[in-house]
């Protein structure tokens, strides 16, 4: 998605343009769920601090010269939020944001109409009492004054809504807001069904999520001696590590908070991947998957294998043919395809 079309980020500043709100004279502002875009650069925003757990967004913010900090306890006179789509995660984000507002300060949030704006507005009203709102660009921006009618019991409840929890009969731990957070994604399940048990050597999982593919790979393939987990969402990595604890004594497991489309360090004999093919605010993005494939091709050893699953309609064949010496469509089912791609130079 082009930064220029990020209408929630654009609409977030509508109350300032109309004079309903003013940027704090002291103390600055915090933007939770931050992503870069020209609305952050078209006006003076003294002491703006950005917070994000998504590595591509963090990298873009830093490249633009914006201040990015890890979550902390500092309170601000203005806290702005671009809430996530998933409802429990969004409610927890609003609760955490309200905790960061200084006494008498403002919590301001904005969402696209088709990304839960109506629900988000209702949730802030439940959480913080009276609110004001505006509509523009198919979005709603809404805000509340801290401590004007907040519900302490609800605030405590919502703080915990995105806490890690057991899923799949306790076999894994996950949390709301991650991809397929409370289930096994059917594409990943299909890939696991097709994996051979003789894969061996150094392995990587590109886009590891909460670790389902990695756990299945290590359970099936005892010849894997090391595994690197690459994941752009920081909230997923500790869970992936926890879900792989049973294998940590046998396999060297290393997590990486990393944007795979920038390439990956290291050399590998095996790569497994269910690449993302869309963003939160856009439809199909096959270019993301193609860049995952290019990253895999560049980091595989001679004879190394990529095992990839994708939606059947996505046009990855040209990138696969360019980066690998042999291709095989292992399976097509339920709208997905599993592909084995191999670099030349190995046996078997």
pLDDT tens track for 122-135: 999 999 999 999 99
What gap in Å lies between CA 67 and CA 65, rounded to an integer? 7
Residues 58 and 27 sit within 8 Å (Cβ to Cβ): no
Instruction: Evaluate whether 3-159 and 165-342 have a shared fold.
Output: yes
Q: Where are the domains of the chain?
A: 3-159, 165-342
Least confident of 20-24, 175-179, 274-278, 297-301: 274-278
Q: What are phi and psi of 231, to 5 degrees?
A: -150, 130
Confidence category of residue 348, pLDDT binned at 50, 70, 90: very low
Q: Looking at the predicted structure, is the pLDDT value of residue 179 above 50?
A: yes
pLDDT tens-digit readout, 220-262 = 999 999 999 999 999 999 999 999 999 999 999 999 999 999 9
- Give the pLDDT confidence of 293-305 residue by residue, as tens digits: 999 999 999 999 9
Residue labelled with tokens 């201040």 = 67
**Has residue 1 got a pLDDT over 70?**
no
| Residue from 84, 79, 80 nearest 12 by CA | 80
Q: Do residues 155 and 101 make contact, with C-beta atoms less than 8 angstroms apart?
A: no
Fold of 165-342: Rossmann fold (3.40.50)
List all residues 6 or more positions away from 65 whose beta carbon is below 8 Å from its beta carbon. Answer: none
pLDDT of residue 147: 73
User: The CATH number of 3-159 is which of 3.30.200.20, 3.20.20.140, 3.40.50.1820, 3.40.50.150?
Assistant: 3.40.50.150
Residue 150 has, within 13 A of its CA and on its CB side, a CA count of 23
Distance between CA atoms of 30 and 24, rounded to whole angstroms? 11
Check residues 310 and 346 and name the one with the higher pLDDT. Answer: 310
**Helices vs. strands in the chain: H and E counts, helices first:** 11, 16
């Amino acid at each position: 998605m082009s930064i220029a079309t990020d209408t929630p980020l654009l609409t977030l500043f509508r109350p300032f343009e109309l004079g309903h709100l003013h940027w704090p004279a002291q103390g600055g502002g915090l933007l939770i769920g931050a992503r870069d875009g020209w609305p952050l650069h078209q006006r003076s925003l003294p002491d703006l601090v950005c917070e994000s757990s998504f590595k591509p967004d963090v990298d873009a913010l830093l490249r633009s010269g914006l201040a990015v900090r890890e979550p902390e306890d500092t309170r601000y006179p203005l806290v702005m939020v671009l809430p996530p789509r998933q409802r429990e995660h969004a409610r927890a984000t609003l609760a955490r944001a309200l905790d960061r507002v200084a006494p008498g300060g403002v919590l301001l949030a904005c969402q696209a109409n088709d990304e839960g704006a109506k629900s988000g507005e209702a949730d802030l009203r439940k959480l913080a009492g009276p609110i004001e709102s505006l509509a523009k660009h198919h979005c709603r921006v809404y805000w509340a004054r801290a401590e004007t009618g907040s519900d302490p019991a609800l605030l405590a409840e919502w703080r915990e809504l995105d806490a890690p929890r057991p899923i799949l009969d306790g076999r894994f731990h996950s949390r709301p807001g991650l991809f397929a957070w409370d289930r096994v994604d059917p594409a990943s399940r299909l890939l696991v069904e097709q994996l051979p048990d003789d894969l061996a050597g150094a392995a990587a999982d590109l886009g590891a999520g909460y670790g389902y593919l990695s756990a299945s790979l290590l359970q099936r393939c005892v010849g894997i001696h090391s595994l690197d987990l690459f994941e752009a969402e920081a909230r997923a990595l500790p869970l992936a590590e926890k879900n792989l604890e049973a294998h940590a004594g046998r396999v060297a497991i290393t997590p990486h908070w990393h944007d795979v489309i920038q390439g990956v360090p290291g050399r590998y004999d095996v790569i497994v991947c269910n690449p993302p093919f869309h963003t939160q605010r856009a439809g199909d993005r096959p270019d993301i998957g193609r860049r995952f494939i290019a990253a895999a091709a560049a980091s595989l050893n001679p004879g190394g294998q990529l095992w990839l699953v994708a939606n059947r309609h996505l046009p990855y064949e040209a990138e696969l043919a360019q980066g690998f010496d042999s291709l095989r469509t292992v399976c097509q089912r339920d709208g997905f395809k599993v592909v084995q791609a191999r670099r030349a130079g190995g046996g078997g």
